[in-house]
Amino acid sequence: MTEYIINQSLQKNLHGKGDWNNCLNQFTDKNIFQSYDWGELKKLEGWEVLQITVTDNETLKCILIAQVLIKKIMGIKFAWCPGGPLIQCDNDQNGINALDKFQEAIYEENIFNLRCKPYMCDSPNNQKLFSNIPKSKNLFTSSKSNIIKIVPGDDFLKQVKKKHRYYIKQSEKSDLIWKVCWGSDTNKVFKTVYDQMKKNKNLSLPIIDINSFSKIMDVDKNGKPRLFTYAGFENDSPVSVCLISIFNNKAFYHYAASTERGRGISASYGMIFNLIQELKSLSIDELDFGGISSDGSSSGVDFFKLGFNGEELSKLGEFDISNSRVYSYFFNKLLQFKKFYKG
């Protein structure tokens, strides 16, 4: 794992999980995809991990953090920065200067093209920070996300839309048993349902190595799992599942799947309803419900997610950093045929 300390006034090297995550935790927009654990997972999947920090000379505070994933294809370095870079500073110019230093580090690595997706809201101030970096044309992911705030004592059922309340109640009639499955069961239970869904729908859906990720994430200091499959069981067989990771007090919804039986009894609606209750018991503040389409191209998924009445947030989107506009042009053309950076 390579690391840059670009501003030499920083007196400590962020070696190891504790130092990196402690620095990341100082940022409001911290997320699982910039965590040390995500980097460890990606190394197992063949990526090189480059960690970059930029520090303010006067305050000695870290004002930019980025974990960059690099992969060589035919000897050419491509890179992907999911959830970053993140910037947090008192004035815009400091942030712009930090991004300049970040770009210099990328150029020094001889990276053909870096695709960034900062986990930052699409505000005028953030737009100004990234104004010198070209917006991407062929996007990997949606720039919109859905966030469900989890408030102790709130009646979540009253929050969701009428149609979803109906589906939740229909699901509850089936008396499914809901469980947190972790450790070796994280992968086993999820894959049981996921593989059925792939076969029945003739889908080809690449996912992360759940088994390896569960070993990396393990448990928190209180012994609670940081990665688990939340599953609904009928007669000891899972019918609806979702993969959830925990970073700090935030939960991230990665993947979900249902069997034909699960879809028939609206189990996925009951799953989210019961998941929220479980997250409340874990003192989680919010659930990042994942992306929703910007153009309505995923209407079924959008209907499902938006019906729980979470907060719809627009992120900054994706940016390309390249030494050459020509390189960037050909890179975006390449994405029309193959998406290298999924995950």
> Measured between alpha carbons, how far is 208 from 213 in angstroms, rounded to an integer?
8
Q: Do domains 2-141+318-335 and 145-314 have the same CATH topology?
A: yes
Residue with tokens 């070209």: 134
The Cα 47–Cα 250 span in angstroms is 26
Which residues pair with residue 81 across a beta bridge? 116
Pick the CATH number of 2-141+318-335 from 3.30.1280.10, 3.40.630.30, 3.40.50.300, 3.50.50.60: 3.40.630.30
Helix (H, G, I), strand (E, B) or coil at 137: coil
Burial class (CB in 10 A: 0-12, 13-18, 19+), 155: exposed
Write down the pLDDT at residue 79.
Answer: 93
- How many C-beta atoms lie closer than 10 Å to residue 34's C-beta? 27
Residue ranges covered by each domain of the chain? 2-141+318-335, 145-314
- Its CATH architecture, for the domain 145-314, is 3-Layer(aba) Sandwich (3.40)
Tokens for 196, please give them. Answer: 């059925």
pLDDT means per 10 residues, the chain with 343 residues, are 43 65 94 94 92 86 93 88 93 88 88 91 91 71 83 88 95 95 93 90 79 86 89 96 95 95 96 96 93 68 90 88 64 50 46
* pLDDT of amino acid 55: 87
Contact present, 196 and 238 (Cβ < 8 Å): no
The pLDDT of residue 4: 47
pLDDT at 322: 84
